Amino acid sequence: MTSSPVLSRALKYGAVLTLFIALAGSLVGSLVAGTPGLVSALVGAGLTALFMGLTAASILLAGRVAKIDDSSALFFGVVLGVWLLKFVVFITILVLLRNQPFIDPIVMFVSILAAVIGSLTVDVLAFVRAREPYVGEITLPGPQSSRSDHP
């Protein structure tokens, strides 16, 4: 089983989510807080795109490193390492933007919250709709079976 169909679907859904957060957040943010609200919503949308892309890239990288053995410790190590990197980058971005005059903290919080909930929903939808088989290549018993001890 490869993760490419699931990842491509998640990236497509993620692009729609990012566009929705950018448009709706910009509209609401600019109405509520003016230009800082607009910028804050766009920063939230940019973070959505960045972190969803890093998630997909980490799984593809881990698959290549672990030679498509997605149950190996190496696979999970790469995914966990990128997850930790995303966490550090997220905290760093928040600290850098904390007291900036062009950021409205409430609008940015709401756009990031919408991004987190939306990205979790996108990942679940992409996985559920993937139609990947649960088992690999197996031979089912049936008429082509030639067992001589069967009466």
Per the structure, the count of domains in the chain is: 1
**What local confidence, expressed as pLDDT, does residue 71 receive?**
74
Average pLDDT across the chain, whole number: 84
- Name every residue whose Cβ is closer than 8 Å to that of residue 97 and which is 6 or more positions away in sequence: 43, 103, 108
Q: Is 124 domain-assigned? A: yes
Higher pLDDT, 35 or 73: 35
Q: Is 139 domain-assigned? A: no
Instruction: Look up the pTM and report it.
Output: 0.74
Q: Is 150 domain-assigned? A: no
Say which amino acid occupies 24: A
**What local confidence, expressed as pLDDT, does residue 144 receive?**
65
Per-residue pLDDT at 1 exceeds 60: no
Neighbours of 45 (CB within 10 A): 24
DSSP assignment, residue 130? Answer: S
For the residues 5-14, what does the mean pLDDT come to?
Answer: 82
Domain range for 13 is 4-128
Q: Is 104 domain-assigned? A: yes
